[in-house]
Every structure is written in structure tokens, then in C-alpha cells.
Amino acid sequence: MEPQVTTFPGTEFTSRGPVEAGLAGDKPREECGVFGVFGDRDAAGMTYCGLMALQHRGQESAGIAVGDGERVRVRKGMGLVSEVFEVEQVKTLRGHIAVGHVRYSTTGTSLLANAQPLLIKYRLGRLALAHNGNLTNAAGLRHDLEEQGSIFQTTADTEVIAHLVARASGHGFEESVVTALGSITGAFALVMMSQDTLVGARDAYGIRPLSIGKVGSAYILASETCAIDAVGGEHIRDVEPGEAVFIDRSGMRSLQALERKGDALCVFEYIYFARPDSDLRDLNVHAVRKELGRRLARAYPVEADLVTGVPDSSVSAASGYAEEARIPYEMGLVKNRYIGRTFIQPSQSMREFDVKLKLNPLRRVLSQKRVVLVDDSIVRGTTSKYIVQLLRDAGAAEVHLRISSPPYRSSCYYGIDTSATKELIASAKSVEQVREYVGADTLGYLPVKELLDTVGRSAAGHCLACFTGEYPVPVPEGTCKYLFEEGGHHDPT
């Protein structure tokens, strides 16, 4: 089927059919990835490469906005970056400034209207926004804006920010952005652009990551340093909590747009979300995961014949466990990377079928072996249960499950799509009950203290809400992914 293309003045949207998503299973879903460029003649091409590097952060939709100083154009669509954009199409998006986005929906359904960057036309010209995170006060702000006559075109909380910037535009672009940032709470890493200025901003706690880089004289903003590496850039520093950076032809200037409330980077970035070749707070993600595995081996030793990890996010931790325990590391599971994405399925049987398509055990490696299976988390327990059985069916004599994070007990409201708290297995079951459910011979979770010691911070230095239930930013009752959908509601339990 040919892509559907609708063109408005200065704006292009594409849709490539039904919404698809990644493996529906026992993991928190990806969040989003943002990327921005100022000062390169092929800003769109550079943004395309950056988004390819950030593809792991969201596979529902992708988009690029590009400006040449006078005009801003957007092209976006449903699917992977490579599905939405053809190389020849990217070449037609000319300009020296661009922002890009890959999305996994954490507020609003997966629809073309919610794909980003969002583009608006207002009194100061054009504004394109791309957002990673969730606004905890979006419902109240949207209600007030609608009461004042604002008309919303999407069900994403990002559009609230656009309306706030537009309403404050009488004071000029820079001040309107700062005023808008002062009105929102929650977790956010934003990149936005006018015709001639690129902006990056983080929430007051720095929950969502955002880094600054340079390629020659061009500036880069990216969710992860791996995207800066992908375009041949050099990582300069991270955007600080509450900071806004403005980049134009005169260079980069920084404003403390919000009072800094803390330093609470989402610790799950280290455990699962970020790519292993990214650096967070000057720590390499692969090195952190490997150390988590070492600490896990010291905390929960076991006699075994081999160690294996669930590909791909758990391989680093598994190799660390194997080295510390002096047990051989083997490839026990192979991930099929070429079947494409599978549709989200509501039934458990279809979720298990998704796993079977994605993972296949190496029977000759596993047969009659005592296996240590390392994974990064257990969320609902359903996929963990299936993988343990997969190893047993392949002939494993014993399966000892080791998790390189603490028990996942509470939902995230800051930009990660997790199940309701009542669906999180560790919220209602003891470790022994979880072990019985997943069918492992033994089960060990990494203690919170070991996690914090690994990343070199106290509990105050990270968001640990998914493990502790202590939220750095208060979460209003009723907050949920589909809050702005017709009939949207939230069951806080």
C-alpha cells in the first residue's frame, strides 16, 4: 500500500498504515528520543542519522522538522525511522536547523496526529517541538487553556507546551519559552525550534536525559550520547536540571529557566533504556551494567555450569556476573532481529507467541546444564515465566534467575509506559512467590544499595520511584496515558 501523504503549507505528514509496536512483554516500554541540530547545511540528514541511533527509545512514529531561517517544514509518520523516511526524501528537507523525534506513546494513543515534532504557527512565526517525558500537571493546564478558548489537535501532553509558548509570545521568543517552562511540572527533555533558534530544556529534577554535542561548528542536542557519536560529534556536557539552552548564529547561551529542585535522573536509563555505548553522567552504560552483574554475582552466588543473558539489554550484566562468578558465559538465547515488529496483542497466548518469534534457545548449549539466567527486570512476570520454561524445554537441568535491578513495584508517570501498579508482580508478591510463579529454581534481585553504589549516587541523586514508590515530583490522582482520550480514566491501584 502506498504511503498516505497530506501536505499543508510548510508541513508534510505521512502515514504508513496500522500502528505497530515492539515486543509486547515483561518490560517497561520505551520512552521517546529527541534530537536537534543547529548550524549544519544538512541538518535534516544529520537528524535522520541521530534518530536511527535513538530508534531503541521508540518505534511507533518518527518525525523531523527542518528550518532554513524563514520556513519550517515537518515530515513525520507512523513506524520506524527507516519506514517513515527514504534517503532521497530527507535530501529534500533543506535547512541549517532541525529537530527530530522517535516516539513510544506515554501520553495519548499511537496516532499520526500525536506523532512529533508538533508544528504550530503563531504570532512569532513557526515553532516545532519534540518531547521526551510526561507532564504531571498537563490535565489542569489543558483544562484551563480550553476554558480560555484554546483548541487542541492532539491527545499528547506536548501540545500543552506549544499553547503556553504561543500565549506568552508577546514578550519575545526566549522569554515566552522560559514562561512556558515555568508553568509545567513533571519530567521532560525538550528540543524545540523557531525559524532561527534551537532550544533544549530539562525539568527541574533532570529526570529525563538530554546531552549537548558539537560537530565542527554545529551544535547537537540528543537524548543519548550514542546519537552524537553517530553523526561524528563530540559530547560537550549534559543539559542541567532546570536549564534551557538557546542556540542561534551567535552561539549557545544558557539560562536557569527553572529553579533546580534536585538531580533525579531516571536510574532505569542505566539498567535498560539507554544504549550500552551511551554515557550518562560520565559513566558508560555498558560498564555500569557489567558492574551490576558483578555485584549480583556477589550477592547471589550459585553453583552452575553456564551464565546467559536475555538479549540484548541483559548481555552486559550477564557477562559481569559470569566474570565475577568464574562461570563460563554462553549464548543461550538467540534474538531474531529480522522478523520486523509484531502487533501488540491483548491476550497472553499471543504475547507468548511474540516471545517465541523473538527468542530461540540453543538446545545443545543448554541441555543438561545448570543455567544462571540474567535479566534486567521483571515487570509483570509473564515473559520471565515463559523464558524460564523455554530453557527447561531446551533441556536445562536447573534455571537460576538473577535480576540486575531491585524488584519493580511501582508504575512510572514520568515518561515510561508501565503497567498499573496492581499488575506489577513484585508489588503484590514476595520474592519467593515471584520465584514460584516464574518457575525458577532460585531468584535473586539486586539490592537498591548495590545499584546506587554502582552509579555513584545516593538515593537523592536518581529517580527510584519504580523500585521504592517515592516520586520526586508529586503525581496527581487520575494521571494516566489516555487521560485526554474520550472516556480516558486511571485506576491508581
Spell out the SS3 assignment of 146-161: HHCCCCCCCCCCHHHH
Evaluate if residue 356 carries a pLDDT over 50: yes
Under a CB-based contact definition with an 8 Å cutoff, are residues 35 and 222 in contact? yes
Mean pLDDT confidence for 421-426: 90
Evaluate if residue 360 carries a pLDDT over 70: yes
Strands 72-78 and 234-238, how do they pair?
unpaired
Mean pLDDT confidence for 338-348: 47
Cell numbers placing 35: 534530537
Name the segment(s) of the chain with CATH classification 3.40.50.2020.
Answer: 283-456
Percent of the chain surpassing pLDDT 70? 84
Assign 3-class secondary structure to 332-345: CEEECCCCCCCCCC
* Confidence (pLDDT) at 29: 52
Lowest mean pLDDT among 111-115, 220-224, 312-316: 111-115
SS3 49: helix
Evaluate if residue 392 carries a pLDDT over 70: yes
Dihedral, CA atoms, 113, 115, 120, 125, nearest 10 degrees? -150
* Confidence (pLDDT) at 415: 77
Evaluate if residue 342 carries a pLDDT over 80: no
Lowest mean pLDDT among 105-109, 146-150, 377-381: 105-109
* Confidence (pLDDT) at 336: 84
**CATH class of domain segment(s) 283-456:** alpha beta
Evaluate if residue 489 carries a pLDDT over 60: no
* Confidence (pLDDT) at 291: 98
Please confirm, yes or no, whether 32 is among the known catalytic residues. Answer: yes
Percent of the chain surpassing pLDDT 90? 75
| Confidence at 357, pLDDT banded by 50, 70, 90 | confident
CATH number of the structural domain 4-263? 3.60.20.10
Evaluate if residue 381 carries a pLDDT over 70: yes
Q: Strands of 61-67's sheet, edge to edge?
A: 4-8, 11-15, 72-78, 61-67, 97-103, 32-38, 218-222, 211-215, 234-238
CA distance 49 to 57: 14
Global model pTM greater than 0.85: yes
Task: Give the chain's mean pLDDT.
Answer: 87
Given the residues 32, 226, 266, 463, select the one marked as catalytic: 32
Lowest mean pLDDT among 251-265, 337-351, 416-430, 465-479: 337-351
| Confidence at 26, pLDDT banded by 50, 70, 90 | low
| Confidence at 116, pLDDT banded by 50, 70, 90 | very high
Strands 11-15 and 4-8, how do they pair?
antiparallel
* Confidence (pLDDT) at 484: 44
Under a CB-based contact definition with an 8 Å cutoff, are residues 318 and 376 in contact? no
* Confidence (pLDDT) at 338: 63
Name the segment(s) of the chain with CATH classification 3.60.20.10.
Answer: 4-263
Mean pLDDT confidence for 200-221: 97
| Confidence at 123, pLDDT banded by 50, 70, 90 | very high
* Confidence (pLDDT) at 75: 96
- Residue written as cell 494521571? 479
CA distance 51 to 62: 8
Lowest mean pLDDT among 20-24, 122-126, 130-134, 437-441: 20-24
* Confidence (pLDDT) at 194: 96
Lowest mean pLDDT among 17-31, 33-47, 128-142: 17-31
CA distance 376 to 25: 13
Instruction: Choose from 108-112, 403-407, 472-476 the range with maximum mean pLDDT.
Output: 403-407
